[in-house]
Amino acid sequence: MLKQTRTFDVLVVGEQPALRNRLAETLKEHRCTQCSGGADAYARIRRERFDVVVADTELSDIDGLSLVGLLSELRDRPKVILLAEELAGTWVRHAFKRGAYDVMPRAFDSEEIRRIVAKAADQRADERSGVDAASQVARERHDARDILTGLLSRGEFSLALQRLRKRIAGETGHVSVLLFDIDGFREINAAYSRKAADALLTHFAHALRDVAGNARPLARIGADRFAMALGETDSAAAMPSSRRRRSIRSSPRRRSPPASSMPPA
């Protein structure tokens, strides 16, 4: 049973049309793009996404080694395979030091170059998967928090509640959620600047953190609506916390928003 070859994007770079055509024909199972110069190749790589670049070393504008050096500075860079007339030891070491994936003679063996290109492309795909996974994790972490206040988002608060219920399932089994908002917030937002409204929300979030501590899930679930979860607490036991929360406005520990953001007296 033949192993199915994955298809990748390959850029073939060389001044000799015969060399480019031979490479494109040899690598026809992939999506091959041709260009004749190093400068053009560099510009295309910055605009488009390639998995592998197969470049001849002898280019009139930017030679193969210089192209490898330029590509090494890019964050999303393809694997580069260089072709040369002679593979002298010093030159080969310099090519690898610059960042070349592999080097091959210009009179390459078709099966060998297909194998090396496939291996390089597979490695590049694995690297991109790792980058995409890291980006996804970063997005998930970003989505887990309200940008303005730093409190949990509505969705993350729901997950925190689920984890809290599971944790105390064998104990009291009680979980209370305190919901609250800011009286007159819409009027403040309409009468004064957006900056003043944001400062009020940030100040209120800081004050809630002082009351809730780090152990209790705390979230912003709406424009001016917040939620706090209390584990191992029924509705009667939650009342003292609710009364304490009402005293935030007169608490001497509150942190005032910047004076420039406060509405005029």
Q: What is the pLDDT of residues 224-235, one digit of tens each?
A: 999 998 876 655
Rounded mean pLDDT of 36-45? 91
Is 138's pLDDT higher than 80?
no
- DSSP lists the bridge partners of residue 104 as 83
User: Does pTM top 0.85 for this prediction?
Assistant: no
**The last residue of a domain, from among 89, 113, 142:** 142
End-to-end CA distance of the chain: 82
**The last residue of a domain, from among 142, 166, 198:** 142
pLDDT of residue 257: 39
For residue 68, what are the domain limits? 9-142
- Tell how strand 175-181 and strand 225-231 pair up: antiparallel
| Within-domain flag for 1 | no
Is 242's pLDDT higher than 60?
no
Domain count, the chain: 2
pLDDT, the chain, mean = 79
Give the rounded percent of residues in the chain with a pLDDT score beyond 70. Answer: 77
Q: Are residues 104 and 170 in the same domain?
A: no
pLDDT of residue 253: 37
Is 161's pLDDT higher than 80?
yes
Q: Are residues 138 and 13 in the same domain?
A: yes
**183 or 135: which leads in pLDDT:** 183
Q: What is the pLDDT of residues 244-261, one digit of tens each?
A: 445 444 343 333 333 333
Q: Are residues 111 and 198 in the same domain?
A: no
Is 131's pLDDT higher than 70?
no
Q: What is the CATH number of the domain that holds 208?
A: 3.30.70.270
Q: Which two tokens stand for residue 77?
A: 């860079």
pLDDT of residue 1: 38
Please choose, from the candidates 183, 162, 177, the residue with its C-alpha nearest in 3D space to the C-alpha of residue 241: 177
With cut-offs at 50, 70 and 90, classify the pLDDT of residue 5: low
**The last residue of a domain, from among 90, 113, 142:** 142
pLDDT of residue 79: 94
Q: What is the CATH number of the domain that holds 120?
A: 3.40.50.2300
Rounded CA separation 126/124 (Å): 5
Residues in the chain: 265
pLDDT of residue 135: 53
pLDDT of residue 215: 66
Half-sphere exposure of 119 (CA within 13 A, CB side): 9
With cut-offs at 50, 70 and 90, classify the pLDDT of residue 89: confident
Count Cβ atoms within 10 A of the Cβ of residue 33 and give its class: 0-12 exposed, 13-18 middle, 19 or more buried: middle
Rounded CA separation 259/220 (Å): 24
With cut-offs at 50, 70 and 90, classify the pLDDT of residue 236: low
pLDDT of residue 136: 52
